[in-house]
Amino acid sequence: MEIWSKPGIVELPAYRDELGALSVIEGESPFPFDIRRVYFLFDVPSHATRGSHAHKDLHQLIIAVSGSFHVTLDDGRAAIDYFLDRPDRALAVPPGYWRTLTGFSAGSTALVLASHEYDPSDYIRDYDEFREWAAQR
């Protein structure tokens, strides 16, 4: 569960043979929360920056199911860049991280599993406000 107090890469099982590969997310593995929402980003122009917000309570698992993109996670003190380019390597994102998604390759799709339904009040969309909120956690 340590992974869910900090961000990190989670390897998904991949069942591979000469007919291709299959990865699965099931029960609590590797997302130890109820999956209350699934959404995906597609047709994102390569110059676009998505995200640019933080969540107060939401846990997410982000997967590059096709193509590649960068996810930068900032806890208010330091930022780490993750390059996602494989469908069987997911990024665990706990609450409290300012995230930006950039550098989408052509045809890429970012699949996101979320622990809660869409709730605008869970968002912090102003970076200065995020810094203040993060400093008080």
- Per CB under 6 A, does 39 bind ligand TYD? yes
Cβ atoms of residues 35 and 71 within 8 Å:
no
Q: Given the residues 47, 53, 55, 59, select the one marked as catalytic.
A: 53
Shortest distance in whole angstroms from residue 37 CB to ligand TYD: 6
Shortest distance in whole angstroms from residue 110 CB to ligand TYD: 8
CA 100 vs. chain centroid, Å, equals 10
Q: DSSP string covering 37-50, please?
A: EEEEEES--TT--E
In 45-84, which positions are buried (b, 16+ CB within 10 angstroms) versus exposed (e)? eeeeeebebbbeebbbbbbbbbbebbbbbbbbeeeeebeb
- Per CB under 6 A, does 86 bind ligand TYD? no
Indicate if 53 belongs to the active site.
Answer: yes
What distance in Å separates the CA atoms of residue 71 and residue 110, rounded to the nearest whole number? Answer: 10
- Per CB under 6 A, does 89 bind ligand TYD? no
The correct pick among 85, 118, 126, 129 for binding ligand TYD (CB under 6 A) is: 118
The correct pick among 6, 37, 89, 116 for binding ligand TYD (CB under 6 A) is: 37
**Residues assigned a catalytic role:** 53
Q: Using CB under 6 A as the criterion, which residues of the chain lie in contact with ligand TYD when the complex forms? A: 37, 39, 41, 50-51, 53, 118
